[in-house]
Structure 1
Amino acid sequence: MRMLSWRPLTSADAQTSADLLNAIETVDQIGEHYTAEDTLTELIDPYADLERASLAAFDGDAMIGYMKVRHKPSAEHVHRVTMDGGVHPDHRRRGLGTALVEAGIEAAKTVHALHHPTLRLVVDVHKAAQIAGVPELMRSQGFAPVRHYQRMEHPLTDLPPVSRSPRIEAWSQQNDEDFRFVRNESYADHWGAVAMPADQWQNKITNQTFQRDLSFLMRDADGVAVGLLVTMSWEADTEVTGIRDAHFMLVGTRPTWRRQGVASALIAHALRAASSLGYDQASVQVDTESTIFEKAGFTARMRYVRWAREAT
């Protein structure tokens, strides 16, 4: 094998990043496919400090492994940074994964010292449970499973009729800030979540995968925004699988309006809307403790594990 070269990621790596992730998908089979536009969105994330907190391995011009760390824009008591990464299937079992995780932990310490130095630092890694070798690698580096999630799917055929609610409206430029406000209010007590500032909202939510016609806001009788559902869809997935998937990325209700049917109404409305627009299925990734999607007819398809370790 040729000598590898190592350097931080840059925004110019969008295509080779997509090539690597698509090669990984051929083996890991987690249902994620990428275009260069998708990976560029990740690379220009305002809370991914690529120079200080990323590393990629190259064999010639081809990227064969990477890691990147995202810090939180805000934190209380604990600063949970997120580390992501992967190794090309042809280059696994050679120590690259270990080297990248070790580099990621050190990078997490670096950005933590810059942004939230007085808080405890925890490094999180979120991976599909079926990926071979991940549990062994995580445990060898001091990580332990702390939460479990699942991908759930719902076919968009034979849907029961639902009454259209005048209190449900689609996303627009005019109500975008209402969407972000409801997201931040409804996720404030979710495990590990922090408020999304406007720049993160634009990067992570209203990007090229955002489906504005399938993203809805619900208001109460006084016109106050109380719940939201945000849908995203990836063209690369559709191209490979032939399935148009409406992925419910965010579903939330402000605390005062919970247990009043807000989320259920939004889900039912979005399912019917997705069906009318020619989508084949809807999906969501949710904590295994949540039951609302099972009640709405979704079926679990894949499990994910959130690994974490304190870094000192």
Structure 2
Amino acid sequence: MREAPITWRPLHRGDAKASADLLNAMEAADQIGEYYDEQDTLQELIDPYTDLDRGSLAAFDGDVMAGFMKIRYQPSEEEIQRVVMDGGVAPSHRRTGIGTRLLKAGVEAARELHEPGRRMAVDVHKPESMAGLAELLRAEGFTQVGYYQHMEHPLDRPIRDAPVPAGLSVEPWSEANDDEFRLIRNEAFQDDPLRAPMTAESWKSKITNQAFRPSVSFLLRDELTRAPAGMLVAMSWDADTEATGIRDARFLFVATQRAYRRRGVAGALIARALRTAAAEGYHRALVEADSDNPFGAIKVYERSGFTPRLRFVSWSLEL
């Protein structure tokens, strides 16, 4: 009996369950430590900066999603307009040409969304351990531009003491200071070409969603001027906990305002978050740091007790 052909179409919001099943099948093979449930993937599909009709493609083997691609296009005033491409192929369908077709489709989708007269780059961030990925990306003209070191801190280990710097006070996340968290993030990464500023809409969609953990997210404030000095945002995905039995607190952002750098702000925020996470029953804290971070983020995390876990490579193709 002849096998049914692979069918192709853009993603839509009804694909949340199929997307989660695919990503979990990939996790079983790639061992990255990321699991998904339907709510997690739905959050990605309703992202206001993802145009599913023009910027996504999925391959189906019957009712099973065999692979997907989607791009995230957030307008900005930067010299180079950057598009982030995500995707993957089920282990059972790898090395069949699906990945190549999806990658080419993502590049073409970026060209379609390209603003005339502006330079554009397509960025891909994936673990360096994924077999065959580097060869696939290089074949399409992508070059490696850096990496992000993922690190971990088991919370049954001693937590390094790091007092809050004099003149600053700590406060938990609240609706009242939420936008200060966002603005600190934008200021901290304004020189990072791979991290576009986040709008209030983007912040709500990507950060303060069902995975956000406000009780483990903190801001440091100048007691005299009331200016925010730094912040830490923590998230945790229920699908990870259900799959592994390990409850992770992921410190997604640790950022310090320029005027308060080199004063121990980051270390104090990390120590407070680690102690809070341990008290709330989390088993492990996770962070990631850009290899090109000019403020030595990897060293800051090492001093706080984090150790290397795995690396994600950043690839880019300028159009």
Instruction: Pick the TM interval, shorter chain.
Output: over 0.9
> 1:8: which partner in 2?
10
User: In the alignment, is residue 300 of structure 1 matched against residue 308 of structure 2?
Assistant: yes
- Cα distance change, pair 309–160 in 1 and its aligned pair in 2 (3 A): closer
What residue in structure 2 maps to residue 239 of structure 1? 242
Q: Contact 1:67–1:85 at 8 Å: present in 2 too? A: yes
Once the two structures are overlaid, the 10-residue window that deviates more, 90-99 or 217-226, is 217-226
Say which is worse superposed, 94-103 or 218-227, in terms of deviation.
Answer: 218-227
Cα distance between partner residues in 2 of 1:45 and 1:107: 17
Distance 1:40 1:161 in 2: 39
Q: TM-score, normalised by structure 2?
A: 0.93
Q: Structure 1 residue runs of 4+, over 6 Å off?
A: none
Verify the 8 A CA contact 2:71 2:106 in the aligned structure 1.
yes
Q: 2:264 aligns with which of 254, 261, 266?
A: 261
Matched, 1:286 2:289: yes
Question: What is the DSSP-based 3-state SS (H/G/I as helix, E as strand, rest coil) of the residue aligned with 1:130?
Answer: coil
Partner SS state of residue 167, structure 1: strand
Equivalent residues in 2 for 1:39-58, closer than 5 Å: 39-58=41-60
2:203 maps to amino acid = W
Alignment of 1:1-312 (within 5 A): 1-113=3-115, 117-157=116-156, 158-161=158-161, 163=163, 167-222=169-224, 223-289=226-292, 290=297, 291-311=299-319
User: Offset at 1:75?
Assistant: 3.4
Query: Is the 2:181–2:231 contact (alpha carbons within 8 Å) kept by the matching residues of 1?
Result: yes
Q: CA deviation at 1:304?
A: 1.0
Q: Secondary structure at the match of 2:4?
A: coil
Q: Residue deviations 1:47-83, cap 9 Å, x none?
A: 1111100000111111111000111231311011111
SS of match in other structure, 1:194: coil
Q: 2:314, 2:290 → 1: CA distance?
A: 10
| AA aligned opposite 2:311 | R
> What SS does the aligned partner of 1:42 have?
helix
**1:249 shift after superposition:** 0.3
* Offset from partner CA, 1:74-131 (integer Å, 9 cap, x none): 1311011111110111011110000000000000111223xxx322111111000000
Q: Contact 2:159 / 2:304 at 8 angstroms: preserved in 1?
A: no
Q: 2:27 and 2:49 mapped to 1: Cα distance?
A: 25
Retained in 2: the 8 A contact 1:76–1:119? Answer: no
1:307 shift after superposition:
0.7
Q: Secondary structure at the match of 2:114?
A: helix
CA distance in 2, matches of 1:176, 1:97: 39
Q: Is contact 2:159-2:305 (8 Å) kept?
A: no
Segments of 5+ residues of structure 2 without an aligned counterpart are: none
User: Percent identity over the alignment?
Assistant: 53
| 1:150/1:286 contact within 8 Å kept | yes
Whole-angstrom CA distance in 1 between matches of 2:164 and 2:221: 13
Aligned length: 308
Structure 1: gaps of 5 or more residues? none
TM-score, length of structure 1 as denominator length: 0.96
Query: Aligned equivalents of 2:131 and 2:42: distance in 1?
Result: 27
In structure 2, distance between residues paired with 1:256 and 1:189? 16
AA partner of residue 276 (structure 1): A
Partners of 1:112 and 1:292 in 2: how far apart?
38
Deviation of 1:191 (Å): 3.7
CA RMSD of aligned residues (A): 1.3
Is the Cα–Cα contact under 8 Å of residues 71 and 112 in structure 1 kept in the other structure?
Answer: no
